[in-house]
Amino acid sequence: MTALAITGARVIDPASGLDRHTDIWVHDGRIAALGTRPPGLPAPEPIDATGLVVAPGLVDLCARLREPGETHKGTIASESAAALAGGITTLCCPPDTQPPLDNPATVELVRTRAETAASAHVFPVGALTRGLEGSYLAPLRALAAAGCVAVGQAGRALRDTHVLRSALEYASTLGLTVMLPPADASLSRGCAHAGVMATRLGLAPIPAAAETAELERILALAVDTGARVHVGRLSTAGAVDLLRAARERGTPVSADVAAHQLHLTEQAVSGFNANAHLDPPLRCEADRRALRAGVADGTIGAICSDHQPHDADAKLAPFARTEPGLSGCETLLALALDLAHTGECDLATTLARVTCGPATAAGLTAGRLEVGAAADLCLFAPDEVWTLSSADMKSQGRNTPFDGVELRGRVRATSVGGELAYRAC
């Protein structure tokens, strides 16, 4: 296996507090030393990282890889390549594949294909209920044994409170994190935030109460069962307030926000822009600011891509009939870094939200940069300005509202297990 000598970089490990200019020595897929070259290291491949930051590889809690079942939208190979171009080395795959990840055989299929087709680490999230239909529990113990790091409902609400409580109780006995979408199904039948833009365009609204009402139910059950709950893809100021209060009371709950929610508002839907048709919908400016404040103060411990690649036809119908979602792996780091560029977070805190923060939420050992850890690394130029071109994206899905947008902070190389899996030209 290749040995690497990464020199001249600013090395940041948010988990340990390391932040200094030093050299990194890699051997046998792991970090062999920081600083002085260790004795006995074979002749390494030199990498001059002067002017770059080296951080742990990013950990993404919500990236749909579209395999099995929707390979016309993406494959494990194509979306893993997109992840690597975005500095992501660890991906959590939600269970809403076709068929869903509600049995060990399908989980094993994903894991086997990931081992042969992907350079990034792919961790399946098992279905909480059979078929994600919310009626009967999936075989959670068997799913955990098959390699699922968590269980959840992806974007499917679980209407039956009794079933949800039973699921949380069972998952708690297994030590499994339960990932839930805070969205009331009855209130989430629209396609845009219940605000000025939906009214102007005549689009069916989704009120903020769809999120806060469901989050209150989830939090109450988390307290009642003691289950470790992770709520995914917050979008409202009210949800941030509820979560902050719950965490202050000691409720075992964590949360993430999709990177695009920190940048865009309902205004992006103007002109019926189908690439801004997202689930949850883009909210108002006050919500966007509250989400950024929640990330800064640690209420929201993770930023995810909410990666949902689509084929071109999925975004060509009238707005309400288009499929929600964007291709987000390749913009995750740049969008997150904006918090550091504006001074809302320091760089280490920002990186924590895309490395050790999500890793901790999923119970993974990833997202760390220390001697003995796997050499999963992201090398990036924090101040490089670049313009996203959907035509140049690695993802099979080119659906993004950031096409042609100028971004700041660019991945230059990604290492997985000590091997350079991606290197910019």
Residues acting as catalytic residues: 306
Collect all residues with Cβ–Cβ distance below 8 Å to 31 and sequence separation of at least 6: 24, 25, 369, 370, 371, 372, 373, 374, 375
d(CA 112, CA 115): 5
Helix axes 104-117, 76-85, angle to 10 degrees: 60
**Residues 172 and 151: beta-carbon distance below 8 Å:** no
Q: Within its chain, how far is the Cα of 143 from the centroid?
A: 21
d(CA 79, CA 91): 10
Q: H-helix or E-strand containing 85?
A: helix 76-85
Q: Phi first, then psi: what are they for 124, rounded to 5°?
A: -70, 145
Place of tokens 């290749």: 2
Residues of 383-404 as b/e, b for ≥16 C-beta within 10 angstroms?
A: ebeeebebeebbbbbbbbbbee
Which residues lie across from 239 on neighbouring strands? none
Pairing mode of beta strands 53-56, 419-423: unpaired
Q: Could you tell me the two tokens for 147?
A: 């390699």
d(CA 23, CA 36): 7
Question: Using alpha carbons only, what angle is made at residue 58 by residues 294 and 147, rounded to the nearest 5 degrees?
Answer: 105
DSSP alpha helix (H) spans, 298-346: 332-341
d(CA 272, CA 10): 43
Q: Could you tell me the two tokens for 282?
A: 């883009």
Q: Phi first, then psi: what are they for 129, rounded to 5°?
A: -125, 155
From 166, 108, 97, select the one nearest 132 (Cα to Cα): 97
Q: Phi first, then psi: what are they for 15, rounded to 5°?
A: -65, -35
d(CA 399, CA 312): 8
DSSP character for 281? P
Q: Could you tell me the two tokens for 308?
A: 């949902």
* ω into 181 cis (within 30 of 0): no
